[in-house]
Amino acid sequence: MNRQTLKQMVLESHINGELNVAKINKIVDLLTKKELRLYIKALKNWEKKNKITIEVADKTGFDLSGFEDLFPDKKMVVTVDPSLMLGLRLQNNDDIFEMSLKNTLEKITEHIEEQYD
Amino acid sequence: MEILGKFGINPVLLIAQIVNFLIILFIFKKFALKPIMQVLKNREKTIKEGLQQAEDARKLLGEASEKERELLRNAQSEAKLLLEDAKKHRTEVLHDVEMRTKEQAEKILKEAKEQIVIETKAAEKRLSGHISQLAIELLEKSSQELFSGKEQTLVIDRALRTLKKKAD
């Protein structure tokens, strides 16, 4: 199984950017154990590359359109994390961008602790 | 003869007595005087030797006494020197011990002070961390009441602007 085939299988596993369980089951039945491992890894990588996770402190009134304009080709997943208190945490592939009150407070705490070192 | 007779002296008897005396003198000189003289000489020699030995002993005793006195003087002198040396050494040792004890005490004091500073800093750090954590927890619990949707929107808009700037 070459890289091209693997990419094709991953693309075939999606319908409108969403994973399709029926299609995945069909593909899995045709694969050996080793191929299955490669396929799962490729699916995870695809998800990682094509998905943006946004954690917000409060979903009320949250407008996703600005982020969709910024990352037009990526799928958005929004979750709520009240511990952020205010603001958001955004994960794009391996990059994490955070602008939250929790993060600010943690930075202040770290700065205070550094004063004692 | 008659005159001798008038004095009651018998000449025959006198001559006999003189002969007897000479005989006895001869016998005495022949047999008794020599051993007696020998004994006396021996005795004199023994006494002289005894006296000489006594004199020698007296001299030896004098010399021994002098030596003893000399030794005693030397011993006293050495003892005095030793005592002075010991006193000096004791003073030096005491001074040295005192200095070392003082240095040790200062070192311990310095270390204790440093330790106190370190521990105080560590305690302050722990306390500061604890207070910060408590403050964060408190804010977490009351954040929904403290911040309205307007503030949330403001922060998210700001985050979006920052991201756009990064993308450009």
Q: What value of ipTM does the predicted structure carry?
A: 0.74
| pLDDT bracket for residue B168 (50, 70, 90) | confident
Task: Determine whether the interchain pair B152/A97 forms a contact, defined as Cβ–Cβ distance below 8 Å.
Answer: no
| Number of Cα atoms under 13 Å in the Cβ half of residue B163 | 23
Percent over 70 (pLDDT), chain B? 99
Residues of B whose CB is below 8 A from A83: 140
User: In b/e form, how buried is each residue of A44-69, taking b as 16+ CB within 10 angstroms?
Assistant: eebeeeebbebbbbbeeebeeeebee
Are A24 and A13 within 8 A, CB to CB? Answer: yes
Shortest distance, CA A94 to any CA of chain B (angstroms): 15
Residue A113 pLDDT greater than 70, yes or no: yes
3-state DSSP assignment of residue B4: helix
The predicted-structure confidence for B62-119, as pLDDT tens digits, reads as follows 999 999 999 999 999 999 999 999 999 999 999 999 999 999 999 999 999 999 999 9
Q: Which of residues 95-124 of B touch A (CB under 8 A)?
A: 121-122, 124
Task: Determine whether the interchain pair B143/A88 forms a contact, defined as Cβ–Cβ distance below 8 Å.
Answer: no
Residue B52 pLDDT greater than 90, yes or no: yes
